[in-house]
Amino acid sequence: MVKTKFVTQSDMKIGLIGDEDTVTGMLLAGIGHVDGQGKKNFLVVDSKVHIKDIEEHFHELTARKDISMILITQDCAELIRRAVDEFSHSAQMIPTVLEIPSKDTPYDPRKDGVMQRVAFFMPSAMASLGVEI
């Protein structure tokens, strides 16, 4: 019987992978964190960043114990779709991966792994999301 007991943990950070504007906004709000070794909990993805780097940073964030959730814009998620899907199907609950829309690309619920699962149980979900957003 796999019973994972969750221990109360405070002071957990929010990871972030996105384009410059999203990261700026979020950092303005105050989720940015740089620790003693210069490790950041965010990554600005522009045209110069390699996909390998994004994937590496994603894996780093998922491995960290003090990160409760990872925000990733949908176009970045598309770039590392394989890694994101692999993580979503693993048994690891923390950190949660959240796909957020970015300024350039509107939110497409069909590509979001979680929404696919939701639509499986509630077929009207896609309609309400696909039509409204």
Partner 1 sequence: MSQAGGQKPAANRMTLQTFKARLGGASKGFKLLKKKRDALKAKFQALLKEIVDTKLKVGEGLKDGAFSLAKAHYASSGDDIASTVIERAKRPSITTKLYPDNVAGVSIPLFKMSYDASKDSSAQTLGVACGGAVINAARETYRKAVVSLVKLASLQTAFHTLDEEIKMTSRRVNALEYVLIPRIEDIIHYITQEMDEQAREEFFRVKKVGRGCASSSSPSLKTEVVEKKKVKLQKEKDEMAAAGKRTEAAIDAPSMLATKKDEDLIF
Q: Which stretch binds partner 1 (CB under 8 A): 51-59, 76-84, 115-123?
A: 115-123
Asked if 24 touches partner 1 (CB under 8 A), the answer is yes
CA distances from 92 to 4, 69, 83, 85, 130 (A): 10, 12, 14, 12, 29
Q: Which two tokens stand for residue 102?
A: 């970015």
Contact between 67 and 9 (Cβ < 8 Å): no
Per-residue binder mask for partner 1 (CB under 8 A), 34-53, x = binder: x-----xxx-x---------
Question: According to CB under 8 A, which one of 45, 83, 84, 109 is a site residue for partner 1?
Answer: 109
The one-letter amino acid code at 75 reads D
Per-residue binder mask for partner 1 (CB under 8 A), 78-97, x = binder: -------------x-xx-x-
Asked if 2 touches partner 1 (CB under 8 A), the answer is yes
CA 26, 110, 49: angle at the middle one, nearest 5?
45
Phi-psi region of 13 (alpha: psi -120 to 50; beta: other; left: phi over 0): beta
> 3-class DSSP state for residue 98?
strand
Taking the complex as a whole, the smallest distance from the CB of residue 89 to partner 1 amounts, in Å, to 10
Taking the complex as a whole, the smallest distance from the CB of residue 61 to partner 1 amounts, in Å, to 14
Asked if 20 touches partner 1 (CB under 8 A), the answer is yes
